[in-house]
Structure 1
Amino acid sequence: MIPSLRGMLRGLLTRGTEGRRRRHAIHKTAPVPGAAVAIVFFATGTLCFVFLGPLRSPPTPTTTSSSGKAAATACDATRGEWVHDPSLRPHYTNATCGFIQDYQNCMKHGKPSLEFLQWKWRPDAADAGCGELMERFDAARFFRAVRGRSILFVGDSLASSHVLSLVCTLSELETPTKRHSTGFEQWWFEAHDFAVSFFWTPFQIRWRLTSDGPESTAPGPARQGEVFAGPSDLHLDEPDERWMSAAKEHDYVVLSASHWFRRPAVYYRGGHVVGCHGCSAKDADNVTGTELSPEHAQRVAFRTVLRALARGEHGFEGTAVLRTVAPTHYEKGGWFDGGECPSTRPLGRDRTAEMVEPEAGFYRAQVEEFRAAAKEARRSGGAVRLRLMDVTGMMLRRPDGHPGRYGHGPGQHDGFDVDCLHWCLPGPIDVWNELLLQILDG
Structure 2
Amino acid sequence: MASTNQFLGFRNESPVTGKGKVNMAKKLHMVAGTWGVRCTFHSLVGLLVATLVVAAVYMTGEGGRWLEDRKSICQNGGESSCSGCNLFSGKWVFDNRSHPLYKEKQCTFMSDQLACEKFGRQDLSYQNWRWQPHQCDLPRFNATALLERLRGKRLVFVGDSLNRGQWVSMVCLVDSSIPPNLKSMHTNGSLTTFKATEYNATIEFYWAPMLVESNSDDPVMHRLPERVVRVQAIEKHARHWTDADILVFNTYLWWRRSKMKVLWGSFESPDGIYKDVEMVRVYEMALKTWSDWLEVHVNRSKTQLFFVSMSPTHQRAEEWGAAEGQNCYSETELISQEGYWGNGSCLKMMGVVDDTIDRLKKRGVNVKVLNITQLSEYRKEGHPSIYRKQWEPLTEDQLSDPKSYADCIHWCLPGVPDVWNELLYAYILHY
What is the deviation of 1:289?
Answer: 4.6
CA distance in 2, matches of 1:96, 1:288: 48
Instruction: Answer yes or no: is 1:198 the counterpart of 2:205.
Output: yes
Q: Which runs of 5+ in 1 are unaligned?
A: 1-36, 42-50, 210-217, 274-285, 379-383
Aligned to 1:363: 350
Instruction: Answer yes or no: is 1:257 the counterpart of 2:244.
Output: no
Look up the SS of the partner of 1:355 in the other structure. Answer: coil
The Cα offsets for residues 114-137 of structure 1, whole Å up to 9 and x where unpaired, read as: 111111111111xxxx2xx42321
CA distance in 2, matches of 1:359, 1:419: 20
Aligned to 1:387: 368
CA distance in 2, matches of 1:180, 1:265: 30
Give matches, 1:36-435, under 5 Å: 39-41=9-11, 54=41, 58-60=58-60, 70-71=70-71, 73-74=73-74, 75-125=85-135, 130=136, 133-174=137-178, 175=180, 176-208=183-215, 218-219=217-218, 221=220, 224=221, 227-239=222-234, 241-263=235-257, 265-268=260-263, 271=265, 289=275, 291-293=277-279, 295-312=280-297, 318-331=303-316, 340-341=327-328, 342-348=330-336, 350-357=337-344, 359-376=346-363, 378=364, 385-408=366-389, 412=393, 417-435=405-423
The Cα offsets for residues 30-89 of structure 1, whole Å up to 9 and x where unpaired, read as: xxxxxxx98454xxxxxxxxx876597643268988xxx734644421111111123233
Number of residue pairs aligned between Structure 1 and Structure 2: 352
What is the deviation of 1:291?
Answer: 4.8
CA distance in 1, matches of 2:375, 2:318: 23
Look up the SS of the partner of 1:102 in the other structure. Answer: coil
Residues 63 and 71 of structure 1 are in contact (CA less than 8 Å); yes or no, is this contact kept in structure 2?
no
The Cα offsets for residues 180-234 of structure 1, whole Å up to 9 and x where unpaired, read as: 224311000012221011111110101126xxxxxxxx4463xx3xx32331221
Q: Which amino acid aligns with 1:321?
A: F
Identity within the alignment, %:
21
CA distance in 2, matches of 1:100, 1:368: 36
CA distance in 1, matches of 2:149, 2:304: 13
TM-score after normalising by structure 2: 0.72
Residues 189 and 219 of structure 2 are in contact (CA less than 8 Å); yes or no, is this contact kept in structure 1?
no
* Residues 229 and 410 of structure 1, relative CA distance in 2, 3 Å threshold: closer
CA distance in 1, matches of 2:366, 2:277: 35
Q: Which runs of 5+ in 2 are unaligned?
A: 1-6, 12-29, 33-40, 42-52, 75-84, 399-403
What is the deviation of 1:271?
Answer: 3.7
Aligned to 1:46: none
CA distance in 2, matches of 1:101, 1:425: 9
What is the deviation of 1:246?
Answer: 2.3
Look up the SS of the partner of 2:59 in the other structure. Answer: coil
CA distance in 2, matches of 1:196, 1:327: 25
CA distance in 2, matches of 1:329, 1:177: 35
What is the deviation of 1:358?
Answer: 6.0
Look up the SS of the partner of 2:104 in the other structure. Answer: coil
